[in-house]
Amino acid sequence: LVGARSSQGFGYGIPLKLKEQGWADRTYLVNPRGGQMHGMPVYRSVDLVPDPVDLAVVIVPAPAVPEVLVQIGRRGIGHVIVQSAGFAETGPEGKALQAEVNKAAKQWGLRVIGPNCVGVVNTGNRLATAEVMPEAMTPGRVAVIAQSGVFGHNLIDRFNMQHVFVSKVVTLGNRMDVSESEMLEYFRGDPTTGLIVMYLEGAADGRLLVDTLKRVTREKPVLVLKSGRTSVGRAATASHTGSMSGHDALYESLFAQTGTIRAASLQELVDLAQVFATQPLPRGNRVGILTGSGSMGALAADAAVDAGLRVPPLSAMTEAKVRNGAPVWMNAKNPLDVGPSGMFPTAFKALMEDPGIDMVLAIVSTPYAVLRTVDPRQLMAQWYFGDLEAIRKLAGHKPLLLSVVSHQRLAEIIEGQVQDRIPVFTCPEVPAQALAALWRYGRYKEGRDSGRRICV
Amino acid sequence: LVGARSSQGFGYGIPLKLKEQGWADRTYLVNPRGGQMHGMPVYRSVDLVPDPVDLAVVIVPAPAVPEVLVQIGRRGIGHVIVQSAGFAETGPEGKALQAEVNKAAKQWGLRVIGPNCVGVVNTGNRLATAEVMPEAMTPGRVAVIAQSGVFGHNLIDRFNMQHVFVSKVVTLGNRMDVSESEMLEYFRGDPTTGLIVMYLEGAADGRLLVDTLKRVTREKPVLVLKSGRTSVGRAATASHTGSMSGHDALYESLFAQTGTIRAASLQELVDLAQVFATQPLPRGNRVGILTGSGSMGALAADAAVDAGLRVPPLSAMTEAKVRNGAPVWMNAKNPLDVGPSGMFPTAFKALMEDPGIDMVLAIVSTPYAVLRTVDPRQLMAQWYFGDLEAIRKLAGHKPLLLSVVSHQRLAEIIEGQVQDRIPVFTCPEVPAQALAALWRYGRYKEGRDSGRRICV
């Protein structure tokens, strides 16, 4: 860690985090002042660090970076993360400085991530060159490629809240050397990664990105959030990561043609990540909607149909199952509004078993006024879903999403019980749209559909 | 309360709730069995209830409702809420039964809300004919018109979580007599109501709704969520409240022409309610975006511009204020990305004071990894916003929205400190879109724009 600092400020906590994650014996701090820091020895220069060294993390001020890269090259370290900011994103002077850094890197054959980033996280070997919270080090199957360091941080904070866990994270910053395409290709081959989530301000190389995405999306879903849709947004990204981005229509077409799933907002990106990380691709587009509220059923049906799904009539078998024991006022249709009949678990199982239904959205709408009369320790997902695990096993090939549209406290209770296996939403529309995205991506992957936007 | 029941089931808790809200001495329970219930006397028939009675709430099974209405009419009670379900929403037989109820109502000159609803809530006099939670009885300025009872419940649960408080709620059910247009007109003249939120499955009378909305939206904003956008959704609403709804394009045009703000989803409805309930209408469409993360600034700018706002360059005065004391790497532009410079409060005040800025969106993006090193009791909105109240007073005419895109816990801390005065979002796009809706509605109200969708 070149530029280790003893005072609060950017990068101060990195050695502490590395220690916390068990890297103390393999972390070497470099600062011309020498001495000790966080109980670790500080080397006065890169030359003095003992072998072997696989990676140099640079956090010195921007003007000092070119010289530090020469030292790193001379020392025989091949891989570098430059976290320092103050390069191409700041204007002509910064661009010139970045060119110098690049020259040094090329001269010594270095591979460089950054500058203007916070580096990488690998939950498998617990390496993090950024100060992420320990909870975020839980290994998962989602890889993250973010141009912006803060974005990467914010995304991981949100992932954590929604039970999405990562395999690896890379923040690319100004992409002087390593680009999003190279990372996509890497994650394609990475066995710990099943899904790739990317935040992009502009393609480093548009043609290369098209070719890469085409290859990657045949194997793993790629979700992308692209900013710079408008000229004001593009100007903002130029000041942020020095990205040059073309008109948005080009990106729209690029993502549609390569089967890349473009989210319209940060929240949609997180929601889709949770769904794609946990649910199988459906075999068809027939959704069964179960609800205790006719209004929520109608809203979910609207969203599903708008997004290209079908909400078919119930099969005779399913209708018979839900009619049996139901009060007369209950309509046995799809969306299936069971009201306060107590038929929710029966209807849920029937829909999951129905071969004419490819995916299920179950919406809980019990008012909080009713719930508050119940001991929360006794309030169980089981009330609504019966033996959820057993039913899931029966229909493991069907995507299943839950929604709890009443009070947040019920959503939290149910979420706590289904954990990271089944996403729990709090509105009727978003899960319907997410199911449609699963289906559209599946179609693309089978080669049955292309050139269409996957998210509606 | 006609049909008061001593066993668990629909309506069981209503007398308990009325007692809880101080209505015990003015609540009369009717059930042929007589005796006592919840420590209150039970009258064997409507005739035996002592004077005066202003309102009858009917929860007897559907087949008994026509006869009960005759008794109510004979007894001289003029206003009725029929909560019982099993009428037009269930098919031809139910329709015939509803016609019978209607005949009795007309014969005795009764005004009826319902059937198939949960009645009304009035936070001013603490009357609730539904089992809502006590927290939801906090008086506010938002009136709710919902066709569906469960929808009304769920909406109030969500309002509560987002610090939105209601004046009155009415659930209309099958709208045998009282319609949404009549309620809109009532809320137009209701001094406790400043904003009307409506959930609609189909207009009871389209022409009347157009005329009414035109009148109401000149005085108070009306937010609407309309289901039945698709044929499947329309079929679902027919089974739910017996609503007959035309093609969605008609509603789109109806809402656009009457300055009605149509939300695209349940969450958007709640978000907009929070914004319209707390923020003034802006004088123009120039938004200042403040952020600690360039990516969030770019995403917010994209959403703002897409929705019709301008993100103008900073004025010389504001630029000077934020340059003074800022590190060299900081860009003083709009969106204004102050990074970790510590300039957030200064920049916030400068934007609020700038006469060239009509509204402000401030996005906090501090990673949780940084926050967790701080004692949460010391973590203050003040860190970011300085003396928020004083600055608000300086620029009371400017809408202000906050967004905390990092960990939920920071959002909760800041939300707890700004309470119900300033909405706190957790993403960059939604508040930008909500600011645009405020501006578009303001334009409509001034007569400068009409026939355009207010939400983008």
pLDDT tens, residue by residue, A217-249: 999 999 999 999 999 998 888 777 777 677 899
Shortest Cα–Cα distance, A200 to chain B (Å)? 9
Of A10, A365, A369, the CB nearest to B340: A10
pLDDT tens, residue by residue, A113-136: 999 999 999 999 999 999 888 888
What is the DSSP code (8-state) at residue B376?
G
Of A133, A328, A407, the CB nearest to B157: A407
Contact B203, B227 (CB under 8 A): no
Mutation choice for B interface testing from A93, A302, A412 by most B CBs within 10 A: A302
Shortest Cα–Cα distance, A8 to chain B (Å)? 11
Residue A452 has pLDDT above 90, yes or no: no
pTM over 0.95: no
pLDDT at B134: 85
**Backbone dihedral angles phi then psi of residue B175, each to the nearest 5 degrees:** 55, 50
Mutation choice for A interface testing from B93, B132, B368, B426 by most A CBs within 10 A: B368
Of A148, A301, A368, the CB nearest to B293: A148
Shortest Cα–Cα distance, B42 to chain A (Å)? 24
Closest of A367, A370, A319 to residue A343, by C-alpha? A319
Shortest Cα–Cα distance, A47 to chain B (Å)? 30
Cα B454 from Cα A167, distance rounded (Å): 42
- The DSSP line for A375-432 is -GGG--HHHHHSSHHHHHHHTTTS-EEEEE-S-HHHHHHHHHHHTTTS-EESSSHHHH
Higher pLDDT, A331 or B265: B265
Distances (CA, A) of B15 to A74, A300, A395, B153: 83, 34, 44, 17
Question: Across all residues in chain A, what is the average pLDDT?
Answer: 92
Helix (H, G, I), strand (E, B) or coil at B143: strand
Size of interface A-B (CB pairs under 8 A): 251
Cα B421 from Cα B163, distance rounded (Å): 9
Paired strand residues for B261: B223
Residue A297 has pLDDT above 90, yes or no: yes
By DSSP bridging, strand B29-30 and strand B36-37 are unpaired
**Residues of chain B contacting residue A225, judged by C-beta atoms under 8 Å apart:** 299
What percent of chain A lies above the pLDDT cut of 90? Answer: 71
Cα A264 from Cα A437, distance rounded (Å): 12
Do B265 and A430 lie within an 8 Å CB cutoff? yes
Do B130 and A406 lie within an 8 Å CB cutoff? no
User: Residue A233 contacts by C-beta under 8 Å, 6 or more apart in sequence?
Assistant: A227, B298, B299, B301, B302, B305
Closest residue, chain A, to B200 (C-alpha): A295
Contact B28, B47 (CB under 8 A): no
pLDDT at B298: 95
**Residues of chain A contacting residue B229, judged by C-beta atoms under 8 Å apart:** 302, 305-306
**Residues of chain A contacting residue B265, judged by C-beta atoms under 8 Å apart:** 299, 303, 427-430
Mutation choice for A interface testing from B65, B148, B154, B293 by most A CBs within 10 A: B154
pLDDT at B239: 74
Cα B318 from Cα B402, distance rounded (Å): 20
What are the strands, taking DSSP E only, across B347-425? 359-364, 400-404, 424-425
ipTM of the complex: 0.92
Do B232 and A304 lie within an 8 Å CB cutoff? yes
Cα A200 from Cα A333, distance rounded (Å): 43
Shortest Cα–Cα distance, A273 to chain B (Å)? 16
Do A427 and B267 lie within an 8 Å CB cutoff? yes
Half-sphere exposure of B80 (CA within 13 A, CB side): 37
Closest of B412, B349, B339, B415 to residue B385, by C-alpha? B349
pLDDT at B376: 64
pLDDT at B416: 86
**Residues of chain A contacting residue B199, judged by C-beta atoms under 8 Å apart:** 295
Structure tokens belonging to residue A414:
């149910």
What is the DSSP code (8-state) at residue B180?
H
Of A233, A296, A301, the CB nearest to B232: A301
Q: What is the dihedral of CA B368, B369, B373, B377, to 10 degrees?
A: 10
Cα A395 from Cα A115, distance rounded (Å): 47
Cα A301 from Cα B237, distance rounded (Å): 10
- The kind and range of the H/E element at B337 are strand B336-337
Distances (CA, A) of A287 to A271, B232, B266, B445: 19, 12, 20, 42
Closest residue, chain A, to B11 (C-alpha): A370
Do A368 and B306 lie within an 8 Å CB cutoff? no
Do A132 and B407 lie within an 8 Å CB cutoff? no
Centre a 10 Å sphere on the Cβ of residue A20 and count the other Cβ atoms it contains.
15
Using 50, 70 and 90 to split pLDDT, how confident is the model at A185? very high
Of A148, A335, A372, the CB nearest to B294: A148
pLDDT at B195: 98
Mutation choice for B interface testing from A150, A337, A365 by most B CBs within 10 A: A150
What mean pLDDT is predicted for residues A347-363? 96
**Residues of chain A contacting residue B231, judged by C-beta atoms under 8 Å apart:** 305
pLDDT at A456: 66
Do A233 and B154 lie within an 8 Å CB cutoff? no
Closest of B373, B453, B355, B360 to residue B403, by C-alpha? B360
Mutation choice for B interface testing from A116, A117, A133, A154 by most B CBs within 10 A: A154
Q: Is B280 exposed, middle or buried (0-12, 13-18, 19+ CB in 10 A)?
A: middle
- The kind and range of the H/E element at A444 are helix A429-445
A62 residue type, one letter: A
Alpha helices in A162-265 (DSSP H): 180-189, 206-217, 231-241, 248-257
What mean pLDDT is predicted for residues A26-39? 94
Is the dihedral angle over the CA atoms B344, B438, B427, B425 positive or is it negative? positive
Q: Computed over its alpha carbons, how large is the radius of gyration of chain A?
A: 25
Q: Is A329 exposed, middle or buried (0-12, 13-18, 19+ CB in 10 A)?
A: middle
- The DSSP line for B21-58 is TT-GGG--EE-TT-SEETTEEEESSGGGSPSP--EEEE
Could you tell me the strand order of the sheet in which A40-43 lies?
Answer: A29-30, A40-43, A36-37
**Residues of chain B contacting residue A116, judged by C-beta atoms under 8 Å apart:** none
Closest residue, chain B, to A328 (C-alpha): B86
**Residues of chain B contacting residue A329, judged by C-beta atoms under 8 Å apart:** 62, 85-86, 90
Using 50, 70 and 90 to split pLDDT, how confident is the model at A448? confident
What mean pLDDT is predicted for residues A245-254? 88
Closest residue, chain A, to B429 (C-alpha): A265
Residue A148 has pLDDT above 90, yes or no: no
Residue A310 has pLDDT above 80, yes or no: yes
**Residues of chain B contacting residue A229, judged by C-beta atoms under 8 Å apart:** 302, 305-306
Closest residue, chain B, to A240 (C-alpha): B294
**Residues of chain B contacting residue A150, judged by C-beta atoms under 8 Å apart:** 292-296, 339, 365, 367
Query: Both ends of chain B: CA-CA distance in Å?
Result: 45
Which residue stretches of chain B have pLDDT < 70?
Answer: 244, 376-379, 456
A222 residue type, one letter: V
Contact B289, B336 (CB under 8 A): yes
pLDDT at B456: 65
Cα A165 from Cα A156, distance rounded (Å): 8
Ranges A321-325, A335-339, A411-415: which has the least confidence: A411-415
Could you tell me the strand order of the sheet in which A79-82 lies?
Answer: A55-58, A79-82, A111-113
What contacts 24+ positions apart, CB below 8 Å, involve A369-377? Answer: A369/B13, A369/B17, A369/B130, A369/B131, A369/B132, A369/B133, A369/B153, A370/B131, A371/A406, A371/A407, A371/A409, A371/A410, A372/B133, A373/B13, A376/A409, A376/A413
